[in-house]
Structure 1
């Protein structure tokens, strides 16, 4: 749409627009379609003298909570020519002529810069027009319906609004403007600019955003900020100061309050952003004014300010005493941060103070987070600092390692940061341990560029005995990992762990991979196994555990203790006999996997079968004394327990399959639907008939079977917790079992054991007596009762001895 639309209005039949909107709404109700097609005749404003010119209807019915039409607020090029009901009552309609390019819509009290022409419907002569006029939404002086339409526009948008009298100048009209009574109005409007408005200090500081910034981050406390500003006494007045560059530290009391409020914090500015500030005298130069600048007393100020750049400064000291200030010299990438065990590669420069020459440096330094103090090269760098600058308490080699341990986990990948270490601000500057720490109290200044890191992590649920180092990330862009019982395809090489000595050149501790090869599964002959059943397939437990947390195509290095390698009781293969006591290093690649069916997608039979499998795995782990891992299996087993609805849905699906296959569900006979395909259909019916449809009674039998498994698992969970010495959790599991069977003797017995462990002897006694009454011949219950009596006697003797000492004569 060319700009000639701003000077020459097209003829629009208002009645036709409203009729078309009504027709679009009726169509929408009939076919429930959110989009009612194109508006063939609306490409330009001409030739729309009747309803036929409106084309195929463009109104998109919406019903947002605020009564407005969301679709009218966020239009695209494909919406050009379509008409929208702005207020959902036909009082204001909007036809898009040119789509905008921004997402924001004008809000109340924001400023806008617009062109518009207004005329009475049917008239060729505008009664009002404006070019590049700046208006404040809510007090534009435009009719209410026009403001409502303006609030739906985006920057760069041109639209035509048709406004009924109720949202225009009413039944009276506006004689001064030449608007007759009860006139329908037509406005053609272009939104050029949008000035977001915020205010603070009870309205004494008002800010309009003129230009958006280039990032989303804003300066915070302590940031070092550089901006350029121009000051005026009125919005269009001559500057009293022009393009003045100023640098200050956020929080500096000498900086005017309005700069702090406008630039810093969550409502501050971003780099490259330009804002206009209206500053009340109390926040500006006040009653004194600024005679040297030509600012009179009690003057209101208009400041145009641009945030040129800023350096983020964060106090990372443990007590926030200003003794460790991190300055971000160059921002990095991503949200991830290095964690303990990660191997981090960095460039490092060390000075005594920010202005001092470099005392020591290193490029490509590799450290292990959590073990930097043992890194030989870091110690040498710290030593050179001391030799060159002198010994200062707080700036020793050990202190350097500690500072890096604090700084590195707070840095982004590729970030460059400076860490200024000084005396606590509360302590002041001066001598430390008889040595001058510098006039500003500086102890050490580090400049660090984080080049890369290698992820090193514990494999979950291995008690830290299996460590995974990622050698190559997956390149498939898929975030899925195997779930339990996934079918995994792997290749790997197992070597004996030869050493955990310092790395080459005295670097950080590392694992040697040149030990004796104990086992190799090459990529030409990969191994396939079911996750969680790897031991049965000859796969080491550490590999079985690790693949659960890998992505397809990922290559890792594992280090595993003997208990998770050939010495594991869950490893069913013989393995290298001499390696039973050896820790191992494994290069492992997950080539591919097929995820097992998720519990939520299983039918009743599948859930019941899974419940049995997981309980069986728990039993095996319990028998081997691996109680913590058995706990997980029993808990997983209970999570698989089916519900009646799982079998009911399964029954309905099978019934549908049998009906399609021509099966008479009442007697199981196959019904051929045509003689030409009788043989084929009989075969299909036979297959479907093999999947029996369960009756309600059969489903209840299945659920009873599942309940028995769940009860058994709760009892076993309690037994695991007792073995692990956790009486509280054992009691909870016993209570869960008793909810299923309140008279269960074993559950009462387990709960009594838990209560005894928790020193609740009376509670334990009550449970054992109840169990003995239910099963008088139970030897375990009787034995526990005898042991409880002895425990109670012993406790009584200890209590008497303690009280005797408390009340004994001095």
Structure 2
């Protein structure tokens, strides 16, 4: 055969070749087995097993060796005879349809014999003089390798071809700081720009929009070639030459070789993005400190101008005990042993609006501070599953008392966490004795009630309602639970439900002063609502007369009953 023979090109069947009809994968074949692929007569016989489990996808650039014969054994083409592997893009109609369907079932190194009916080859016309009309063909194909080519924006704007696979499975995120090497050329090969060791934040981007889009799809040490259309390059305006960089013409397509050397993971510790952690060195394992853990670390505290105000090696503290600033306390809970990180902490989670005299320098008011930190070791607070029953009850009681102290100090969020932890220690009591169950019930009622008081103070009314309902499931006549649930209902506008709870509480304790005062407030609110309701509906058409009469009102500040300090 001559070198310029174009088989297995699609020939006159390009319209059919672009069809993306799904096919049935042949499943796992044993060597020597044959199975039909899809329902159009294409057959595959496995001659040699491949490696791994991956198979190429549409858009990938595949490299194969093949030998093509007619059913009578007549050979009409062979890349093996030419000594040059055949390359093409899978699923783009560059080859006959039987190839596009069959080769996507192969693994790297696999050798298979495909029997391809005329409808998936050259049809009624054949390919004279070598392929007769309506010929069924056989191809002995070996998949040597392939390069993954992805349309990463799904709009044809950036195609990425992986030329060197990366490590692990993670990809950079918007906040992460990446380190890259890149080379940019025009389609004619003109070098536009080249740089090694460039660092930038993914969401901020660098050079052109394509770089930030591409690195988010890459793994560490991955190298890829990008084909970048103008919308992700420099668009209609192009780019003027500057320094060592050549200009880019308007509407130019770019070829960018990009290598992701490494990156630092950056994350928001708080939802308001005011405590940010950048990992410089990953830690070991998967465990992290819990609340109440004893941690040991090295610590350097700096102002934004570089002034060091604190330095300690080692430095020990107990988490969730306000022994350090809030931002540091929260960040340590996200770290692993051996992890090295830089924390950027806004004033709200640092020293606030007051001047703070530290070990080595004064921290001015409203200062954002930076901590360089390494978590050397930690000892986690004992978990409930590591305790015997008496321990669980004792610790639950301690958590309740800690919560009470925090509540009285106005630290409702931290108090709420203490009550929640107290309940967790004793929530599963199947192995408890009858006496232990009684003790646990008293503590659960008390912790949930006090937590409901915290939630009311924090204006988390739905959570307060749920906690009170839990108590009422254990003690249906608990007046505090009825009272606090009524307050929660009032503050979300469910006045009818609030009235039911208050009336029940008064049936149980008719002289309860707090409940009686709340009932007066509720009735006044209901009267106000009814006046507004009457005025509003007086102007409505008759067809709206059946509208929902459920009484709603705006939230108000609550004054929950005293927290329970018993048990």
The bucket for the TM-score relative to the shorter chain is 0.7 to 0.9
Is the counterpart of residue 304 in structure 1 residue 140 in structure 2?
Answer: yes
The structural deviation recorded for 1:285 is 3.0
Q: What is the aligned counterpart of 1:248 among 69, 81, 88?
A: 88
Find the aligned partners of 2:227 and 2:508 in 1 and give their Cα distance.
Answer: 73
Residue aligning to 1:494: 301
Q: What is the aligned counterpart of 2:99 among 224, 242, 259?
A: 259
Residue aligning to 1:473: 282
Residue aligning to 2:311: 520
Change (3 A) 1:574 1:518: closer
State whether residues 567 and 579 of structure 1, in contact with CA within 8 Å, keep that contact through their aligned partners in structure 2.
Answer: no
Matches within 5 A, 1:495-644: 495-498=302-305, 514-515=306-307, 517-522=308-313, 526-533=314-321, 535=322, 538-567=323-352, 578=363, 581-623=366-408, 625-641=410-426, 643-644=428-429
The structural deviation recorded for 1:232 is 1.6
Is the counterpart of residue 269 in structure 1 residue 106 in structure 2?
Answer: yes
Is the counterpart of residue 763 in structure 1 residue 551 in structure 2?
Answer: no
Find the aligned partners of 1:608 and 1:109 in 2 and give their Cα distance.
Answer: 56
Task: Give deviations 1:409-468, integer Å, cap 9, x for gaps.
Answer: 2111111234434379xxxxxx96999xx9997555543211110122233x67533222
Q: What is the aligned counterpart of 1:347 among 181, 189, 202?
A: 181
State whether residues 604 and 642 of structure 1, in contact with CA within 8 Å, keep that contact through their aligned partners in structure 2.
Answer: no
SS at match of 2:216: helix
Q: What is the aligned counterpart of 2:201 among 361, 364, 368?
A: 368
Change (3 A) 1:581 1:772: farther
The structural deviation recorded for 1:643 is 4.8
Find the aligned partners of 1:738 and 1:624 in 2 and give their Cα distance.
Answer: 28
Is the counterpart of residue 359 in structure 1 residue 192 in structure 2?
Answer: yes
SS at match of 1:410: coil
Is the counterpart of residue 208 in structure 1 residue 45 in structure 2?
Answer: yes
Task: Give deviations 1:746-770, integer Å, cap 9, x for gaps.
Answer: 2112221222222211111111121
The structural deviation recorded for 1:309 is 3.3
Task: Give deviations 1:314-373, integer Å, cap 9, x for gaps.
Answer: 2333xx33233333233211101112321111123345x54452333432221113333x
Residue aligning to 1:228: 65
Residue aligning to 2:20: none
Find the aligned partners of 1:627 and 1:370 in 2 and give their Cα distance.
Answer: 36
Is the counterpart of residue 454 in structure 1 residue 264 in structure 2?
Answer: yes
Change (3 A) 1:230 1:542: same
TM-score (norm 1): 0.56
Residue aligning to 2:171: 337
Residue aligning to 2:244: none
Find the aligned partners of 2:395 and 2:264 in 1 and give their Cα distance.
Answer: 38
Is the counterpart of residue 328 in structure 1 residue 162 in structure 2?
Answer: yes
Change (3 A) 1:774 1:411: same
Find the aligned partners of 2:448 and 2:353 in 1 and give their Cα distance.
Answer: 26
State whether residues 465 and 564 of structure 1, in contact with CA within 8 Å, keep that contact through their aligned partners in structure 2.
Answer: yes
Residue aligning to 2:6: none
Task: Give deviations 1:556-581, integer Å, cap 9, x for gaps.
Answer: 22222334334599x9x999875564
State whether residues 541 and 568 of structure 1, in contact with CA within 8 Å, keep that contact through their aligned partners in structure 2.
Answer: no
Find the aligned partners of 2:450 and 2:187 in 1 and give their Cα distance.
Answer: 63
State whether residues 566 and 575 of structure 1, in contact with CA within 8 Å, keep that contact through their aligned partners in structure 2.
Answer: no
The structural deviation recorded for 1:242 is 0.8
State whether residues 607 and 642 of structure 1, in contact with CA within 8 Å, keep that contact through their aligned partners in structure 2.
Answer: no
Find the aligned partners of 1:575 and 1:624 in 2 and give their Cα distance.
Answer: 31
Residue aligning to 1:314: 150
Residue aligning to 2:21: none
SS at match of 1:640: helix
Change (3 A) 1:343 1:487: same
TM-score (norm 2): 0.77
Find the aligned partners of 1:364 and 1:296 in 2 and give their Cα distance.
Answer: 58
Task: Give deviations 1:201-256, integer Å, cap 9, x for gaps.
Answer: 23722223333445543322322333332112249x34221117443333323532
Find the aligned partners of 1:608 and 1:568 in 2 and give their Cα distance.
Answer: 41
Matches within 5 A, 1:143-292: 194-195=31-32, 197-202=34-39, 204-234=41-71, 237-243=73-79, 245-264=85-104, 268-292=105-129
State whether residues 643 and 703 of structure 1, in contact with CA within 8 Å, keep that contact through their aligned partners in structure 2.
Answer: no
State whether residues 603 and 646 of structure 1, in contact with CA within 8 Å, keep that contact through their aligned partners in structure 2.
Answer: no
Residue aligning to 2:215: 408
Find the aligned partners of 2:340 and 2:288 in 1 and give their Cα distance.
Answer: 13
The structural deviation recorded for 1:586 is 1.4
State whether residues 608 and 642 of structure 1, in contact with CA within 8 Å, keep that contact through their aligned partners in structure 2.
Answer: no
Is the counterpart of residue 784 in structure 1 residue 512 in structure 2?
Answer: no
Change (3 A) 1:574 1:247: closer
Is the counterpart of residue 748 in structure 1 residue 482 in structure 2?
Answer: yes
SS at match of 2:331: helix
Find the aligned partners of 1:796 and 1:730 in 2 and give their Cα distance.
Answer: 27
The structural deviation recorded for 1:583 is 2.8
Runs of 5+ unmatched residues, structure 2: 1-25, 240-247, 543-567
Change (3 A) 1:780 1:448: farther
Length, aligned pairs only: 501
State whether residues 496 and 579 of structure 1, in contact with CA within 8 Å, keep that contact through their aligned partners in structure 2.
Answer: no
Computed over aligned residues only, the root mean square deviation of the Cα atoms, in angstroms, reads 3.7
Change (3 A) 1:292 1:604: same
More helix per residue: 1 or 2? 1
SS at match of 1:341: coil
Change (3 A) 1:365 1:432: closer
Find the aligned partners of 2:485 and 2:156 in 1 and give their Cα distance.
Answer: 54
- The structure having more radius of gyration, on CA atoms, is 1
Structure with higher RCO (Cα < 8 A, 6+ apart) = 2
The structural deviation recorded for 1:497 is 3.3
State whether residues 353 and 366 of structure 2, in contact with CA within 8 Å, keep that contact through their aligned partners in structure 1.
Answer: no
Residue aligning to 1:464: 273
Find the aligned partners of 2:446 and 2:227 in 1 and give their Cα distance.
Answer: 61
Find the aligned partners of 2:425 and 2:523 in 1 and give their Cα distance.
Answer: 41
The structural deviation recorded for 1:604 is 0.5
Q: What is the aligned counterpart of 2:435 among 671, 690, 701?
A: 701
Find the aligned partners of 2:27 and 2:106 in 1 and give their Cα distance.
Answer: 21
